[in-house]
Structure 1
Amino acid sequence: MPITKSENGAAVWTHRTPKARIVMWVGWLLLVALFIFCWQVMTEGTIWFFVYDAPRQAADIGSRMFPPKWSYMDELWWPLWDTINIATLGTLLAVIMAVPVAFLAARNTTPSTKFVRPVALFIIVASRSINALIWGLLLVAIIGPGVFAGIIAIALRSIGFIAKLLYEAIEEIDETQIEAINATGASAMQRLDYGITPQITPAFAGITLFRWDINIRESTVLGLVGAGGLGLKLQASINVLAWGQVTTIFIVILATVLVSEWVSAKVRHSLI
């Protein structure tokens, strides 16, 4: 802490020096100015009449959403099954592609830190940078609407997430175990089987289940862009202003997410 002198020459402890306090206040002023500038840029095209009227519109739509139309449930079972399949198959496909990418990205397992690792890291960043809905839009335009486009969209989005967390787990392994296996004259595959895989298996299981849980949420809305699942029914109900059906779909989505949370937690607890 800085020390200043009082009028009688005694040492006084202060949290910051006068110069540091001035710098801090200038920083706060610049931050406020930046916030105001960004706010003006973002709200430049806002029609404030609609903003002021939003509470009334929200109350009107909310009153139309109750009671839920429970008879609509008969049409949701198959889309719900599609949604679960999109999340599950997309996650499995992502795991198949993400595992080799993770090993190529980890410093202690990549064959080349100058050439191969940057390519693997680029794949991870590219996958994580594009939202699943964007992948869905692109794939629906390329291969057409349907569940298959949703599966591929979930897989492409999940590769970066799984590979990033997995390669970090690979880099954090205990190298002394690898050295001990090397001392026995083990091959590269034996080092992988007996030295690396046992150490990263708990992390791998947790990462996969966590991503599957996230994909359940993302797959519920992929239908909004034509990629199958509950999102198709949600979009159709909103288009015809069937708000009772929308409420039923929301309840189904919430229940699905809660069940996936419970299943994910139970499986992680049993495996890790």
Structure 2
Amino acid sequence: MTSTSAPVWHYRTPKQTLLRWLGWFSLVALTVFSWQLMNENTIWAFVSDAPEQAADIGDRMFPPAWGYTGQLWQPLWDTINIATLGTLLGVLFAVPVAFLAASNTTPSTRFVRPLALLVIVASRSINSLIWALLLVAIIGPGLLAGIIAIGLRSIGFVAKLLYEAIEEIDTSQVEAVRATGASGAQVIDYAIVPQILPAFWGISVFRWDINIRESTILGLVGAGGLGIQLNASLATLAWNQVAMIFVVILFTVVVSEWVSAKVRQAVI
């Protein structure tokens, strides 16, 4: 009699095992390369001294310069205005871009939609600080550069989330309104907008909350707000003033987070 051995079950095929080991080898090689690249420009004497330097700066920060608060109200107001007006500017342009990018509302999936998606990707790929650097070089320092930078950054964020909400609407409502003989604008007004309105308000308020945080540092490149005071304090090594600015920024972010949460609870 001839005996046949039972097949042996393997979790992975030989090809999958080979690819798995190649993946691990590539990861190790990338890690070694990155470590060598980091070491080329790292002065380890400074790194070893970093804990002492951090402790020294932390000691100079306390107590914060509470008397410096009076000079921060105007920059704080500028920061809030940059975030608010920038968000409004971004939302104003993001809404039409979102309708052009959504596959169920775009007039052309072959030409218009790719262009709208390109606008969204371009806006999201460049940080607001980079936008501010470019705008300060073009139109000069000031609040206007900060507002436009925040607006340009907000377009991609708002438009992306909004066009995804548009694509997820209930199509039966759209078909019901269209069956009445409504025009394209009326279909958008009565069938699409009511469905995406809660998402729109939630996205807008969430973006405003993010912009409050981002606008606090735009002054580092001359775009107005608290960043200007922070840059001046850092330049003069006034660490207790820096600590006070950090306290104001933290307070502002906490309040904006609370306002954002309350508004989203109310509209969603």
Q: TM-score range by the shorter chain?
A: over 0.9
Identical-residue share of aligned pairs (%): 72
What is the CA–CA distance in structure 1 between the aligned matches of 2:16 and 2:93, rounded to whole Å? 51
1:17-166 matched pairs, under 5 angstroms: 17=13, 20-166=16-162
Matched with 1:4 is: none
Give 1:167's aligned residue. 163
* TM superposition shift of 1:9: 4.3
Letter in 2 for 1:41: L
Residues 83-127 of structure 1 deviation map (CA, whole Å, 9 limit, x = unaligned) = 011000100111111100111111111111111111111111111
**Which moved further from structure 2: 100-109 or 24-33?**
24-33
1:142-167 Cα distance to aligned partner (Å, 9 max, x none) = 11111111111100111010011111
Residue in 1 that maps onto 2:255: 259
Q: Secondary structure at the match of 1:177?
A: helix
* CA distance, structure 1, for counterparts of residue 118 and residue 25 of structure 2: 38
Structure 2 residue aligned with 1:183, among 169, 179, 186?
A: 179
Q: Distance in 2 between matches of 1:10 and 1:218?
A: 64
TM-score normalised per structure 2? 0.95
After the TM superposition, which parts of structure 1 deviate over 6 Å for at least 4 consecutive aligned residues? none
Q: Cα RMSD over matched residues?
A: 1.6
Superposition deviation, residue 25 in structure 1: 2.8
CA distance in 1, matches of 2:213, 2:36: 33
User: Matched residue pairs, number?
Assistant: 266
Task: Report the Cα distance in structure 2 between the residues aligned to 1:43 and 1:172, rounded to whole angstroms.
Answer: 49
> Deviation of residue 15 (structure 1)?
3.4
Q: Which moved more, 1:208-217 or 1:29-38?
A: 29-38
Instruction: Give 1:11 deviation, angstroms.
Output: 6.0
**How far off is 1:21 after superposition?**
3.6
CA distance in 2, matches of 1:243, 1:88: 29
Look up the match of 1:5.
none
SS in 2 for 1:43: helix
Cα gap change, 1:201 to 1:23, in 2 (>3 Å): same
Matched residue, 2:243: 247
**Which secondary structure does the structure 1 equivalent of 2:40 belong to?**
coil
Q: What is the TM-score with the length of structure 1 in the denominator?
A: 0.93
Structure 2: distance between partners of 1:17 and 1:122 = 41
2:221 matched residue in structure 1: 225
Counterpart of 1:141, as a letter, is: A
The whole-number CA distance in structure 1 between the counterparts of 2:112 and 2:8 is: 57
- Cα deviation for residue 60 of structure 1 reads 1.0
Displacement of 1:14:
4.8
Q: Distance in 1 between matches of 2:210 and 2:35?
A: 31
The Cα offsets for residues 141-194 of structure 1, whole Å up to 9 and x where unpaired, read as 111111111111100111010011111111111111111111110111110111
Range moving further from structure 2, 108-117 or 78-87: 108-117
Higher mean C-alpha deviation, range 17-26 or range 41-50: 17-26
Q: Specify every segment of 5 or more residues in structure 2 that has no aligned partner in the other structure, as ranges.
A: none
More deviation in 224-233 or 168-177? 168-177
- Separation of aligned partners in 1, 2:31 and 2:254: 37
Secondary structure of the residue that 1:29 maps to in structure 2?
A: helix
1: CA distance, partners of 2:244 / 2:225? 15
